[in-house]
């Protein structure tokens, strides 16, 4: 039996994959736990591309010893730790090359590395004057490169063979998050900056956008249209809100919108509402629906076209810091660890970090159109 096949719904009927266990606050959804998770907060997750057989998951963290780990996720749900690599500072971002042979990692040590999974060798390929927050592989018809976004207010492009960047673009502020879907890139910065880049022939700034959100940007993800072309992005803020923004909509006032999420205590005015950061957004590769995860310790699935919520998880006992789908959308991975949203006094070093895997084949199907 394939646990992540399209027709298996483990966890259905409340029994979970391990039988009817008592409710456990660290894993209330009874999802599969990845073995040997990092020893410190998990900053990023990335699944291998469809070009290699199987599913491999990369996780980046703040751990001192092994900031990047790779697991094989087998069809039966077993996870096998395969390899790990080090930086001299926390890893904030990670991505795969399109052929699945290499992983690129971005760190607070102001460098990015290229990790060759076949030889298990890692080498530095990028350098900034500040921590590198975002890293993405760009595969264009006439070039391929790694894009790095840093707190030094630059966006740099590297061909991985030269110590100097192919190009460096100045940004108005520090890079907080970014996404790439060729031929489009979007970067969200400090002070609510938002810049779209076009990547054809060579990268260049396409448009600066007034932020649709009033609070600090935390995460961004590009979405595609029915023709599989990038057409807009979802932007999440620390104020429990996501903006859906199209680049060239027929009717901007109607097509672009924001919605509240990752809030608790309902909406009545007698009790103040708890509002949490949206830590990550990921789009389902088949259905175009999206997942958000937050500091409230929940994940939610949404249909942006029908403007409806598809599902919200039970509350975990700590924030969810990262999430991603595998290449065919059957697996949803999410990481549970402290995001420091309540400061050091809420940090408990005894608390373990977890990465969970959930069958996402059915729950992210869009609502039937009426």
Please report the pLDDT score of residue 267 as a whole number. Answer: 62
Closest listed residue to residue 224, CA positions, set 182, 170, 176, 273:
182
Band of the pLDDT at 16, cuts 50, 70, 90? very low
pTM of the predicted structure, to 2 decimals: 0.93
Q: 221 with 164, same domain?
A: no
3-state secondary structure of 253: helix
Please report the pLDDT score of residue 15 as a whole number. Answer: 41
Band of the pLDDT at 143, cuts 50, 70, 90? very high
3-state secondary structure of 10: coil
Place of tokens 């999430």: 323
Q: Is the per-residue pLDDT at 367 higher than 90?
A: no
Mind listing the pLDDT tens digit for each residue in 224-261? 999 999 999 999 999 999 999 999 999 999 999 999 99
Q: 218 with 162, same domain?
A: no
Please report the pLDDT score of residue 272 as a whole number. Answer: 83
Closest listed residue to residue 293, CA positions, set 309, 312, 310, 267:
312
Place of tokens 């991985």: 160
Q: 166 with 293, same domain?
A: no
Q: What's the structural domain count of the chain?
A: 2
Band of the pLDDT at 66, cuts 50, 70, 90? confident
Please report the pLDDT score of residue 258 as a whole number. Answer: 98
Boundary of a domain, candidates 154, 172, 190? 172
Q: 150 with 224, same domain?
A: no
Q: Is the per-residue pLDDT at 13 higher than 70?
A: no
3-state secondary structure of 332: strand
Q: CA angle, 44 as apex, 95 and 168 as ends, to 5°?
A: 50
Please report the pLDDT score of residue 271 as a whole number. Answer: 79
Domain coverage including residue 259: 214-341+354-365
Q: 218 with 322, same domain?
A: yes
Mind listing the pLDDT tens digit for each residue in 283-309? 999 999 999 999 999 999 999 999 999
Residue 86 CA to its chain's centroid (Å): 21
Average pLDDT, the chain: 92
Q: Is the per-residue pLDDT at 21 higher than 60?
A: no
Residue 336 belongs to a domain: yes
The stretch 93-115 carries a mean pLDDT of 98
Q: 47 with 164, same domain?
A: yes
Mind listing the pLDDT tens digit for each residue in 193-221? 999 999 999 999 999 999 999 999 999 99
Mind listing the pLDDT tens digit for each residue in 85-99? 999 999 999 999 999
Residue 13 belongs to a domain: no
Please report the pLDDT score of residue 339 as a whole number. Answer: 95
Q: Is the per-residue pLDDT at 370 higher than 50?
A: no
Q: How many angstroms separate the CA atoms of 242 and 210, rounded?
A: 15
Residue 198 belongs to a domain: no
Band of the pLDDT at 7, cuts 50, 70, 90? very low
- The domain that holds 107 is classified in CATH as 2.130.10.10
Residue 181 belongs to a domain: no
Q: How many angstroms separate the CA atoms of 87 and 79, rounded?
A: 24
How many CA atoms lie within 13 Å of 253's alpha carbon, on the beta-carbon side? Answer: 0
Please give the full DSSP string across 155-178, using - where no structure is assigned: EEEE-SSSSS-SEEEE-SS-EEEE
Please report the pLDDT score of residue 268 as a whole number. Answer: 65
Contact 65, 44 (CB under 8 A): no
Q: 51 with 154, same domain?
A: yes
Band of the pLDDT at 23, cuts 50, 70, 90? low
Band of the pLDDT at 4, cuts 50, 70, 90? low
DSSP conformational letter for 110: S
Please report the pLDDT score of residue 285 as a whole number. Answer: 97
Identity of the highest mean pLDDT range in 17-26, 173-182, 265-274 = 173-182
Q: Is the per-residue pLDDT at 31 higher than 80?
A: yes
Band of the pLDDT at 310, cuts 50, 70, 90? very high
Q: 150 with 282, same domain?
A: no
Q: Which residue has the higher pLDDT, 370 or 264?
A: 264
* C-alpha dist (Å) from residue 89 to 129, 130, 335: 14, 12, 20
């Amino acid at each position: 039996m394939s646990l992540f096949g399209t027709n298996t719904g483990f966890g259905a009927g409340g029994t979970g994959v391990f039988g009817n266990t008592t409710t456990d606050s660290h894993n209330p959804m009874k999802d599969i736990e990845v073995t040997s998770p990092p020893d410190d907060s998990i900053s990023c997750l990335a699944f291998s591309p469809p070009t290699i057989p199987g599913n491999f998951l990369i996780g980046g963290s703040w751990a001192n010893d092994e900031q990047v780990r790779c697991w094989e996720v087998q069809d039966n749900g077993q996870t096998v730790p395969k390899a790990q690599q080090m930086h001299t500072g926390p890893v904030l971002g990670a991505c795969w090359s399109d052929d699945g042979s290499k992983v690129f990692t971005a760190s607070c040590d102001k460098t990015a590395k290229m990790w060759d999974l076949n030889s298990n060798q890692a080498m530095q390929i990028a350098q900034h004057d500040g921590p590198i927050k975002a890293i993405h592989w760009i595969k264009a018809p006439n070039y391929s490169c790694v894009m790095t976004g840093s707190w030094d207010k630059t966006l740099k492009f590297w061909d991985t063979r030269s110590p100097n960047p192919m190009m460096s673009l100045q940004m108005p502020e520090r890079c907080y998050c970014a996404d790439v879907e060729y031929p489009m890139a979007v970067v969200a910065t400090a002070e609510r900056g938002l810049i779209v880049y076009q990547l054809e022939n060579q990268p260049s700034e396409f448009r600066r956008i007034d932020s649709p959100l009033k609070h600090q940007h935390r995460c961004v993800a590009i979405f595609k249209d029915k023709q599989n072309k990038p057409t807009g992005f979802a932007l999440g803020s620390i104020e429990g809100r996501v903006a859906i923004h199209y680049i060239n909509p027929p009717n901007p006032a109607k097509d672009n919108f924001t919605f509240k999420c990752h809030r608790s205590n309902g909406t009545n005015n007698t009790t103040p509402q708890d509002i949490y950061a949206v830590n990550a957004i990921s789009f389902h590769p088949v259905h175009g629906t999206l997942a958000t995860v937050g500091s409230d310790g929940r994940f939610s699935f949404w249909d942006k076209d029908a403007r409806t919520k598809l599902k919200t998880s039970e509350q975990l006992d700590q924030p969810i810091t990262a999430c991603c789908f595998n290449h065919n959308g059957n697996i949803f991975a999410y990481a549970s660890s402290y995001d420091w949203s309540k400061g050091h006094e809420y940090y408990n070093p005894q608390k373990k970090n977890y990465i969970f895997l959930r069958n996402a084949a059915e729950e992210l199907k869009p609502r039937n159109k009426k």
